[in-house]
Amino acid sequence: MTPWWKNAVIYQIYPKSFQDSNGDGIGDLNGIINRLDYLQKLGIDAIWLSPIYQSPGVDNGYDISDYQAIDPQYGTMADLDRLIAEAKKRNIRIIMDLVVNHTSDQHQWFIEARKSKNNPKRDFYIWRDPINRHEPNDLTSNFSGSAWQYDQTTGQYYLHFFAPEQPDLNWQNPELRQKIYEMMTFWLDKGIGGFRMDVIELIGKEPDRKIGANGPKLHPYLQEMNQKVLANRDIMTVGETWSADLETVTKYSDPARHELSMVFQFEDQQVDQQPGKEKWDLAPYRPAALKKILLKWQTQLDYRHAWNSLFWENHDLPRVISRWGSDTTYRVQSAKMFAIALHLMRGTPYIYNGEEIGMTNYPVKDITEVADLESINMYHDRLQKGYSKQELLKAINAKGRDNARRPMQWSDRLQAGFTSGEPWLKVNPNYQQINVQAALADPNSIFYTYQKLIRLRHENEIVVTGSFKPLTTSADVLAYYRELGDQRWLIVANLSENKAQFTAPDQLKQVLLSNYCAPQTLQALTLKPYEAFAAIVN
């Protein structure tokens, strides 16, 4: 039997930016509850909620100080229980973000751990003596600088792969693992739909050997977690795994191995960065390179023994139309094209809040306008290394995480209907044109393309289990067949702003979706900029 999460579409909410209900400028749980009818109309099956746990907010909630308390800025545990119940009434499950590679430095465990070398919680974290009065080694943090922070009280360094306020947990400690499993069980017993697991690839780290991702104990830990917590529950799990390749994705998601339902892999993220460098080292987008990676994952992963997720955006990534499509002349066409191209592939699709109305990046002119610590740290680090302000701002505007974290644009009212107060991060001024209210009023909006794609997946087995066959096309055109029994669908997407020629040998039976006028034939077509369609053929 096909598990529910294979024909589900999941919607990611970034709570701080989704909907404020009390005028403090910060999105909250009651705000989400008020928008459930909208999400039901879109048709999604589950919400992945970015962290709403108690947190000092150094990394917007990815620094948790209490796993079993709700941060007061988002509401109360009663509000969350109500969200779970109200969502359930609409057949929507709540997927919680599980951040267990690290905690906040304000977590009770760390407050204890740093007190003394023989504190009972000391070994929940990773401590090392200085070497020649310096860091134990040259491991670096994802947020710039060393991954080691010196702690005065005991004269040792602790490990942090992210901010110093996010000390890494020591998964080698069995008592720590047990505590995490108990915490996960607490959440599952509330009736949530599963977990999205933050940087889960790092939990098998061996810092002395400079191993972060994919340590030798990673899969044994996940199997233990599965056995102790996840097994025999009607839930899904998705791991965030930046380093995943075909082989490791199979390890994580082969049902016979009892680890996770699926993972996020990020290979396509590299198409617009210089090889071997960081995301800030920009390189031009080449549609053909993107196509190659998409096809690799569709054709080379064995979907009988593995599963993949499909996404363009999340809270760490820029808006896809600003990045690889058009956020001006062809905004609507390119947004629909990305939707059509992605949602009819194999895997479970994710929509990031605002993607379904074609929200765009918001460029800044000065570093003082930036909120995200990743961008701010990188900026200061690279300024020191001799980069110019201008090129650093260019990189932040292209790839910075604030782009996707701007308040959700609900209407053309003040502050886009996000808040009646001052939003924590400025609203994109284009909200007067781009907003939910306008999208719902226009039958040709991006919103309805997403709605239709979700419905197609729900109603047609071919989208979920059909085989996948690429067509040979011109460089910038992605085209594939899905086939099941005697049914055949053809999906065509021009990934570029240039016109392109396209021909398929098939007869057109019925056009399911298109972002221009529906094509009349499949022979000798000239595809318009970002043109895409899906059709039943034979």
What residues are annotated to the active site?
A: 198, 240
435 Cβ contact partners less than 8 Å away, ≥ 6 residues apart: 357, 409, 410, 411, 412, 416, 417
| Residue 105 touches which member of Ca ion, ligand TEU, none, C-beta under 5-8 Å by kind | none
| 340, 310 Cβ separation under 8 angstroms | no
If binding means CB under 5 A, how many residues of this protein chain bind Ca ion?
5
- Residue 253 CB, shortest distance to ligand TEU, in Å, is 19
Nearer to Ca ion, 73 or 166 (CB): 73
Which residues 276-305 are close enough to bind ligand TEU by CB under 6 A?
279
If binding means CB under 6 A, how many residues of this protein chain bind ligand TEU?
14
| Residue 346 touches which member of Ca ion, ligand TEU, none, C-beta under 5-8 Å by kind | none
Q: What is d(CA 92, CA 101) in angstroms, rounded to the nearest whole number?
A: 28
| 259, 222 Cβ separation under 8 angstroms | yes
242 binds ligand TEU (CB under 6 A): yes
Angle made by CA atoms 188, 194, 200, in degrees to the nearest 5: 110
How big is the chain, counted in residues?
538
Q: Which of 374, 402, 476, 531 binds ligand TEU (CB under 6 A)?
A: 374
- Residue 416 CB, shortest distance to Ca ion, in Å, is 15
Q: Which of 34, 106, 142, 270 binds ligand TEU (CB under 6 A)?
A: 142
Q: Which of 268, 316, 355, 531 binds ligand TEU (CB under 6 A)?
A: 316
Give me the sign of the Cα torsion angle 499, 291, 316, 314: positive
CA 290 to chain centre: 18
DSSP state, 422?
-
Q: What is d(CA 343, CA 383) in angstroms, rounded to the nearest whole number?
A: 41
- Residue 319 CB, shortest distance to Ca ion, in Å, is 24
| Residue 62 touches which member of ligand TEU, Ca ion, none, C-beta under 5-8 Å by kind | ligand TEU
For the chain, percent helix, then strand, then coil, each to nearest 5?
35, 20, 45
- Residue 59 CB, shortest distance to ligand TEU, in Å, is 5
Distances (CA, A) of 113 to 5, 116, 139, 167, 179: 39, 7, 22, 11, 15
- Residue 246 CB, shortest distance to ligand TEU, in Å, is 20
- Residue 281 CB, shortest distance to ligand TEU, in Å, is 13
268 binds ligand TEU (CB under 6 A): no
Which residues 387-426 are close enough to bind ligand TEU by CB under 6 A?
401
| Residue 97 touches which member of ligand TEU, Ca ion, none, C-beta under 5-8 Å by kind | none
> Per-residue string for binding with Ca ion, 25-64, x by CB under 5 A?
-x-x------------------------------------
Distances (CA, A) of 376 to 121, 163, 240, 369, 389: 32, 12, 23, 10, 12
| Residue 26 touches which member of ligand TEU, Ca ion, none, C-beta under 5-8 Å by kind | Ca ion
| Residue 374 touches which member of Ca ion, ligand TEU, none, C-beta under 5-8 Å by kind | ligand TEU
Nearer to Ca ion, 29 or 357 (CB): 29
Q: What is d(CA 400, CA 38) in angstroms, rounded to the nearest whole number?
A: 28
Distances (CA, A) of 49 to 184, 197, 255, 423: 15, 11, 25, 20
For 133-194, the DSSP string reads TB-SS--B-TTSSBSEEEETTTTEEEE-SS-TTSPBB-TT-HHHHHHHHHHHHHHHTTT--E
| Residue 59 touches which member of Ca ion, ligand TEU, none, C-beta under 5-8 Å by kind | ligand TEU
| 110, 190 Cβ separation under 8 angstroms | no
497 Cβ contact partners less than 8 Å away, ≥ 6 residues apart: 326, 330, 529, 530
> Per-residue string for binding with Ca ion, 2-31, x by CB under 5 A?
------------------x-x-x-x-x---
82 Cβ contact partners less than 8 Å away, ≥ 6 residues apart: 29, 33
Which residues 191-210 are close enough to bind ligand TEU by CB under 6 A?
198-199
| Residue 20 touches which member of ligand TEU, Ca ion, none, C-beta under 5-8 Å by kind | Ca ion
- Residue 266 CB, shortest distance to ligand TEU, in Å, is 8
Nearer to Ca ion, 26 or 512 (CB): 26
For 32-56, the DSSP string reads HHHTHHHHHHHT-SEEEE---EE--
Q: Which of 59, 105, 168, 355 binds ligand TEU (CB under 6 A)?
A: 59
Nearer to ligand TEU, 242 or 481 (CB): 242
Q: What is d(CA 153, CA 504) in angstroms, rounded to the nearest whole number?
A: 70
Q: Which of 80, 99, 408, 491 binds ligand TEU (CB under 6 A)?
A: 99
Q: What is d(CA 18, CA 48) in angstroms, rounded to the nearest whole number?
A: 13
Taking alpha carbons only, the member of 117, 100, 108 closest to residue 151 is: 117
| Residue 243 touches which member of ligand TEU, Ca ion, none, C-beta under 5-8 Å by kind | none
Neighbours of 133 (CB within 10 A): 6
Q: Which residues bind to Ca ion, rule: CB under 5 A?
A: 20, 22, 24, 26, 28
Q: Which residues bind to ligand TEU, rule: CB under 6 A?
A: 59, 62, 99, 142, 162, 198-199, 240, 242, 279, 315-316, 374, 401
